[in-house]
Structure 1
Amino acid sequence: MKTVQQTVEEKYTNSDGNLHAYPLDQNSQYLSESIGLYMQYLVLVEDEKNFEIQVDRLVSDYLVEQNELVFVRWVLYEDATVNALIDDVRIIASLNEASELFNQPAYEKLSSRLEETISRVQQSDGIHVDFYDWTFRMPAERITLSYLINDYSATNKTKQLLISLDDTAVFFPEYYDVKYQKYIESKEVHLIDQLLIAINRQDMGHGSSTFENWVTREWKSNGKLLGRYDRQTQEATVNYESLAVYYYLSLYFNKINEPAFAKEVMEQAEKIATAKTLADTHFFDYIQYQMLLEKNTKK
């Protein structure tokens, strides 16, 4: 049986050593999301050798230095002049963990430079924002709330956005518009975003009973959750299950002390992760499913 690392090398890696989004499709995108997630996995399984390879790829291909600041391109082989906060945060967290795990101070130094860049320029009115355009020297005007994961020390003003949002409705707003100082809701909600926001709030000590009750009820009733839902009707708008959704759903159930449900989620994920589905799976879903398996194995 092939290891995850062998599968990644054979199906998701081009001749330059960079990760593409879809297996065996070198024309699919090369995302900082992918390298950040893979770095997370490699830390989880304590694979020092392959982690070092990914750091080398990060430094040689993804990093852009401007005026003593260092940015991470959100995509390779395209004319990208912006980064993506969520991807940078994953990379920063992975570098910090790897620095301690593998006794490599250079990783912490790199993470500090990336964090300093975000702190210096990727804010608007004291709030961290989605991206920064280093060509125009312009930060974004909104923050995606699911980006505010606990791995990153966001400003208190940014964290307050998660704490202060209206959590009386089932679904959370997805964005905060910094310019107009208001929360923005989408008519169709992505469950990954909703789960991440719920997890973020839980980590900050602010559970969301309305969302928790809905998720628990849906799981009990249907034994599955789908990828997207209508905000008003709370009915699914797609008919597919997502391995990435189940990764975050498992984390969420463990956060709210529902380990039995988390175990059921793991079992459902294994049912849908057939050889056929994995053969066409986006790297985002593939690697998060592998992290789900690994975390359950370590229990």
Structure 2
Amino acid sequence: MWRGVRKFLAIIIIVCTSILIGIFLIQKQEVHHSFATEKFIKRWLMNENGTLATYIKESNQLDEDLVQGREALSETLGLWMQYALEEENEQLFQDAFEILTTYFLEKDGFIHWKLNQSGVSEVDTNALVDDLRIISGLLSAYRKWENEQYMEVARIISNYISRFNVTNNILTDFYDRKHQYSSDVITLSYIDPEPLEQMFQREYLDKETYRNTMDVLVSAPLEHGFYPKSYHETKQTYLFEGEINMVDQALVAYHLAKLNIVSNDFVRFVEEEIAHRGVVNGKYEKSTKKPVVTYESPAVYGILILFSIESNNYSLAEKLYERMKVFRNDNKKHNYYGGYSVSLTGDTHIFDNLVPLFAEKKLMNSWNN
């Protein structure tokens, strides 16, 4: 009898060991691919001055976000900082900090939202969402590495947006330095509770502006299970669009999850799309919840993964991750190895690479915790 029990236990140990080895090998393989994506970005999407380009190809044609070719964005810089923090790579973060202070940042705290390939700005506006992401990165880096410069620059940027990116004590999308005009609209996906809380705790943001801005996010109504696009402060109304952009929706859901607010309707929608259709498309018709485009975006999957991790829905996160990887070039012999959504013409948008890179690293770190 005991011989049979010992044999059974031996089999169990062998099976469990095999499973653990399998998991280790999978994780090791994903770490390799993740590093390949970082190398891909550095090789193909980095300008000579160290700024990160929006596209691989040079172009004079503006995209729907009014960006072209090798132009560099403050959005990209903030995402790169987030990745450096998740990777715990102090040198990578320091390099990004030097790009910020050398090219993007003015002495008074104004950050140009885009630069040309040479690092020169041709715009007079900032972007609240990008500034908040950079502030959060700087303050998180200060806590991690205790570099006083990070905190000081975060304070200067915070003071600028708390002074100029405000309408009726609510933070708004942008400030135009040339015309001295502040937007009266706040895009909901721009409201990230994490940097706002950090700014408020350090008294970089006054209580009224902090609470009013947070309330816009928390009080947002749902229509057909979707969030509003924006809030118009002077009209004091939420604005919905007929076509729902999933980047915006995923970001709002992610930011609310940081406050432990999770919409069951939104989760159900994403889960049903993955379960029944196997994909999440880029845009949907609000009332019917039917896709209005055929394309998918690795960035959408990346943000949905971040949302799933934040809401402790790891089953959904891993399903989304499996779909996201379809868009990654895993051919080690290919020039674009590690790159996401590289077209036949050899081009891709950096947002579709940086967000998946960050989400992948976040997911891998969660596996190890």
User: Distance between the aligned counterparts of 1:257 and 1:9, measured in 2?
Assistant: 32
**Matched residue of 1:193: which SS?**
helix
Number of the residue aligned with 1:58 = 100
User: Distance between the aligned counterparts of 2:40 and 2:316, measured in 1?
Assistant: 29
Task: Work out which of the residue numbers 146, 149, 171 in structure 1 matches 2:189.
Answer: 146
Structure 1 pair 53/23, CA: closer, same or farther in 2 (3 Å)? Answer: same
Letter in 2 for 1:250: I
Contact conserved, 2:309 with 2:363, CA < 8 A, in 1? Answer: no
User: Distance between the aligned counterparts of 2:139 and 2:125, measured in 1?
Assistant: 23
Contact conserved, 1:168 with 1:210, CA < 8 A, in 2? Answer: no
User: Distance between the aligned counterparts of 2:92 and 2:268, measured in 1?
Assistant: 41
User: Distance between the aligned counterparts of 2:228 and 2:281, measured in 1?
Assistant: 19
| Pair 1:288-2:348 in alignment | no
Contact conserved, 2:128 with 2:174, CA < 8 A, in 1? Answer: yes
Number of the residue aligned with 1:35 = 77
- Structure 1 length normalisation: TM-score? 0.92
Number of the residue aligned with 2:171 = 128
User: Distance between the aligned counterparts of 1:122 and 1:199, measured in 2?
Assistant: 23
Matches within 5 A, 1:95-110: 95-110=138-153
Number of the residue aligned with 2:203 = none
Matches within 5 A, 1:229-244: 229-244=284-299
Task: Work out which of the residue numbers 45, 49, 52 in structure 2 matches 1:12.
Answer: 45
Number of the residue aligned with 1:158 = 213
Per-residue deviation, 1:84: 0.3
User: Distance between the aligned counterparts of 1:214 and 1:139, measured in 2?
Assistant: 36
Contact conserved, 2:54 with 2:70, CA < 8 A, in 1? Answer: yes
Letter in 2 for 1:37: L
Number of the residue aligned with 2:13 = none
Q: Unmatched 5+ residue regions in structure 1?
A: none
Per-residue deviation, 1:142: 0.2
The CA RMSD over aligned residues, in Å, is 1.9
Letter in 1 for 2:76: S
Per-residue deviation, 1:71: 0.6
Per-residue deviation, 1:209: 2.5
Contact conserved, 1:174 with 1:184, CA < 8 A, in 2? Answer: yes
- Of 229-238 and 201-210, the range deviating more from structure 2: 201-210
Per-residue deviation, 1:185: 1.1
User: Distance between the aligned counterparts of 2:267 and 2:295, measured in 1?
Assistant: 21
Per-residue deviation, 1:144: 0.2
Per-residue deviation, 1:5: 4.3
User: Distance between the aligned counterparts of 1:37 and 1:101, measured in 2?
Assistant: 17
Structure 1 pair 185/266, CA: closer, same or farther in 2 (3 Å)? Answer: same
Task: Work out which of the residue numbers 76, 86, 89 in structure 1 matches 2:115.
Answer: 76
Number of the residue aligned with 1:112 = 155
User: Distance between the aligned counterparts of 1:266 and 1:21, measured in 2?
Assistant: 23
Per-residue deviation, 1:3: 4.4
Deviations 1:126-163 (A, max 9, x none): 11000111222221110000001122216111111122
Per-residue deviation, 1:168: 5.0
**Matched residue of 2:161: which SS?**
helix
| Bigger Rg over Cα | 2
Per-residue deviation, 1:31: 0.8
Per-residue deviation, 1:221: 1.4
Contact conserved, 2:38 with 2:357, CA < 8 A, in 1? Answer: no
Letter in 2 for 1:51: F
Deviations 1:34-84 (A, max 9, x none): 11111111111122122212111111111123xxx3110001135211100
Number of the residue aligned with 1:46 = 88
Number of the residue aligned with 1:182 = 237
Number of the residue aligned with 2:130 = 87
- Runs of 4+ in structure 1 off by over 6 angstroms are none
Matches within 5 A, 1:265-276: 265-274=320-329, 275=337
Per-residue deviation, 1:19: 1.2
Structure 1 pair 256/98, CA: closer, same or farther in 2 (3 Å)? Answer: closer
